[in-house]
Amino acid sequence: MPRRKPWTERQVGRSQEGNPPIGDVFGRREAGPDSDDMYIVRTIPGSRAIKTYRCPGCDHEIPPGVAHIVAWAIDGGEDDRRHWHRGCWNGRRTRRITRRWS
């Protein structure tokens, strides 16, 4: 008897409630630096980090090849994305943001 697959092609990529799957592909939701707003957060592996960014948490550069976090407010758009060092994002509630953007 052939083995039966646990998921059909129609079920792959869907959660049970019909919402998009939660995970790094679409981002996860976390409280932001001000704790008032919710942010969508994605982890960028070092192999996909190809540009230099400036972290708003420490105001240092994130060079190409370094894994980091991309976060933006849920009600914001693509222009609101900010690239953070993982440690700066994890410590966002215990210290102030050193760089403000307009």
Distance CA 10, CA 8 (A): 5
Asked if residue 58 lies in contact with residue 85, where contact means CB atoms within 8 angstroms, the answer is yes
pLDDT digit string, tens, across residues 15-64: 444 444 444 456 889 988 877 789 999 999 999 999 999 999 898 999 99
Q: What is the pTM of this model?
A: 0.67
